[in-house]
């Protein structure tokens, strides 16, 4: 499946935001990683996603997104049940557990690879996952998780059916 449907992929963030806001039927996956996007542009994109019913994959990996941009994204995605895959690894985000903790049925994938995540964040994630029945894919590769953090997460996942 082409990442941008049958139309040509957007050449600028402005064009992308315009197509997302227009609910472009051909735009089902946004692969906008490594584009040097910061919080200001992510906030514009998230506002465009508010009423979008076609984008299911949102990849914003390896950008300059911080907790501020992630918070704006989380607020919009809380009500947008179309986006089911969200890639935010290699950003400067430290905490984005709200949808996991809320057991949001549309949120099935957590990509937290390459984020410098340590045991404190993993313990928060484990707590959020304790009662979550919808996350089916969890990526925590290349982080700073010790054996004790991994053990705590494993115990929660073992008991989570």
Around Cβ 47, how many Cβ atoms within 10 Å? 14
Q: Among 3.80.10.10, 3.40.50.1980, 3.40.50.1000, 3.40.47.10, name the CATH number for the domain at 13-159.
A: 3.80.10.10
pLDDT of residue 37: 92
Residue 63 backbone class (left: φ over 0; alpha: ψ -120 to 50; beta: rest): beta
Smallest CA-to-CA distance from 130 within 107, 96, 153 is with 153
- Confidence category of residue 6, pLDDT binned at 50, 70, 90: low
Q: Which one is predicted more confidently, 145 or 9?
A: 145
Residue holding tokens 């590769």?
Answer: 141
Measured CA to CA, the distance from residue 40 to residue 138 in angstroms comes to 27
Rounded percentage of the chain residues whose pLDDT exceeds 70 = 89
pLDDT at 83: 92
* pTM listed for this prediction: 0.62
Nearest to 148 by CA among 116, 112, 117, 119: 119
Instruction: State pLDDT tens for residues 79-117.
Output: 888 998 888 878 877 655 666 766 777 778 887 877 778
More confident: 47 or 110: 47
CB 31 within 8 A of CB 59: yes
| Nearest partner of 139 among 114, 121, 120, 113, judged by Cα | 113
pLDDT tens string 26-36: 999 999 999 99
Task: Give residue-wise pLDDT tens across range 48-89.
Answer: 999 999 999 999 988 999 888 988 888 888 788 899 888 887
Look up residue 25 and give its DSSP letter: T
Q: What is the mean pLDDT of residues 129-145?
A: 89
Q: Which band of pLDDT confidence, cut at 50, 70 and 90, is reported for residue 2?
A: very low
Q: Residue ranges per domain, the chain?
A: 13-159
Q: How many CA within 13 A on the CB side of residue 39?
A: 10
Beta carbons of 134 and 108 less than 8 angstroms apart: yes
């Amino acid at each position: 499946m082409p990442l941008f449907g049958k139309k040509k992929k957007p050449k600028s963030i402005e064009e992308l935001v315009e197509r997302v806001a227009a609910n472009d039927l051909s735009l089902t996956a946004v692969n906008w990683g490594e584009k040097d996007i910061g919080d200001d542009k992510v906030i514009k994109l998230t506002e465009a996603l508010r009423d979008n019913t076609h984008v299911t994959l949102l990849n914003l990996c390896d950008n300059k997104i911080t907790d501020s941009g992630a918070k704006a994204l989380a607020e919009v995605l809380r009500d947008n049940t179309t986006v089911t895959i969200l890639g935010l690894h290699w950003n400067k985000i430290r905490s984005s557990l709200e949808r996991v903790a809320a057991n949001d049925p549309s949120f099935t994938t957590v990509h937290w690879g390459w984020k410098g995540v340590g045991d404190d964040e993993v313990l928060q994630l484990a707590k959020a996952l304790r009662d979550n029945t919808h996350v089916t894919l969890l990526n925590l590769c290349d982080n700073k998780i010790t054996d004790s953090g991994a053990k705590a997460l494993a115990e929660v996942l073992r008991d989570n059916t």
